[in-house]
Structure formats: C-alpha cells, structure tokens
Amino acid sequence: MTRFADKVALVTGVDAEIGRAIALALAREGARIVGCCRSADKGREAILAIEAVGGTAIMIAGNVARNGDSEAAVKRALDEFGRLDVLVNYGAARRVVGTITEISDEDFAEEMDADLKSVIALSRRAIPAMAQNGGGAIVNLSSIAGWGVKGRALRSASKAALSSLTRAMALDHAHQNIRVNAVLIGPTLTSDMLRRTDQVKLLEAEAPLQRLHTPDDVAAAVSFLASDEAKSITGALLPVDAGRSLPSF
C-alpha cells in the first residue's frame, strides 16, 4: 500500500517546478491532489503530469494570501474529496535582491504575502478540516536563507519568520494530532538553473556534498515529513541543501 492511499493533499505553487515535483511525488504515493497556483496555464500542466502517472488531481487558480481564495481552496478539497489530510505551503516568491535600504514597500508586501500571509491564511482554514478527520500534516517550504544571507534582507527576514511560525504552529496544534514541519531549501537545480553552467559549478563547489539538490530531492523530504513514517516528528526544520548550511569551523 502506498503512503498516502485514501488521503488528500493540498499543494500550493504547483505552477512552479518545485511545487509540481512535490505534487507529483505525493500523487505517485496515492494522494489525491488539490493544486493551487496563480498561473492557470502552468497549473494545468501540473495536473496533466499527475494524471499521466495515474494520479487524481484538480486545480484551483488564485492567490491564497487572499482570504477568499484560501477559503475557496479548502472548500474545493472538501467538496471534491470529502477530506483534507496534507497541506504543503510552497510560496514561490520572486527573488527580491537588496539590503533594507534598497527594497521598496511593494517588495516587502509581495515577499510577506508569498512567504507568510499565504501560509497563515491557508493553514487557519485547513487546520479545522484536518482536525475533523483526526489530524493531518502541514509542511512549509522555508529556506536556509532564514539564518541570514548578504544582500537578501527580505528573504532572510521572511524565511526566518516562517521557520519560527512552523514551530509555533507545531506547538499550538499538536493536541489536534496535526504535525507541522518545514523543509529548508537552498539553491535548487531547476531547469532554469541548468542554463547557468558557471553558476551551477560555483554553487556545487561551495556545498560540502559537492552537488546541488533537485526539486525531486525536495519532494522526497516533503513526502517523508507528510507521511505516517514521520508520525513522531513535529516542529522540525529539515535542511535539504547538500550541507550548505553546515558551520565551516
């Protein structure tokens, strides 16, 4: 029996490569997928890919940082499948580069919406639905940037907040048998990254494992944390970064 047989997973950001890989991995393990994204066209590509491997999936387009859209996403899951067991919050934000003296108010609002407001808006609607079924698992996609990265002030701040939020949610909802964990990712070898050969070589050389992780590596970590194999794990911040975040001393 597959790990997610008879379970329903709501995955955001399926129009991005990492979000699509996560949705595919869960679908291969038996989960029925509700894919959320802003781009309907790219979202349909993800749904078709899931169906191509024998999975079941539906898509809802919108911005889950908005209360109406997040409420609609959870309602769609319940209306279509009758339950919700897994929530994966992947806020695929634009990469805002700059110090705090260089970023704009618009940059701040965009980053916080993607990394924090969307997680809060969707989770506060998903948690009661999970609790009705006896519990569930939430996995947030955070970043090793939460420990602070030069020239990436916004991302450092938002991901640090998301990691702390993950631990707070784990404490707050453990009594409902809802586990909340986060995967902390670093530079990921996406198809876009593959076109930048020199940068890839440099990033690989900097990592202790001398490689970059792929979207499939991220998906494998998410699948584990969302599964019953991790039933005693909550509040964990799991780096998937080829050792990049390890101290060098």
Tens digit of each residue's pLDDT (9 = 90 or more) over 39-82: 788 888 889 999 999 999 999 999 999 999 999 999 999 999 99
Q: Which of 44-53, 106-115, 126-135 has the highest mean pLDDT?
A: 126-135
Pick from 192, 22, 32: nearest CA to 91: 22
- pLDDT-based confidence at residue 31 (cuts at 50, 70, 90): very high
Phi, psi at residue 110, to the nearest 5°? -65, -45
As a whole number of angstroms, the distance between CA 66 and CA 165 comes to 19
Q: Tens digits of per-residue pLDDT, 172-193?
A: 999 999 999 999 998 888 877 7
Boundaries of every domain in the chain: 8-240
pLDDT at residue number 44: 87
**Lowest-pLDDT range of 15-29, 64-78, 93-107:** 93-107
pLDDT at residue number 160: 94
- Region 8-240: CATH code: 3.40.50.720
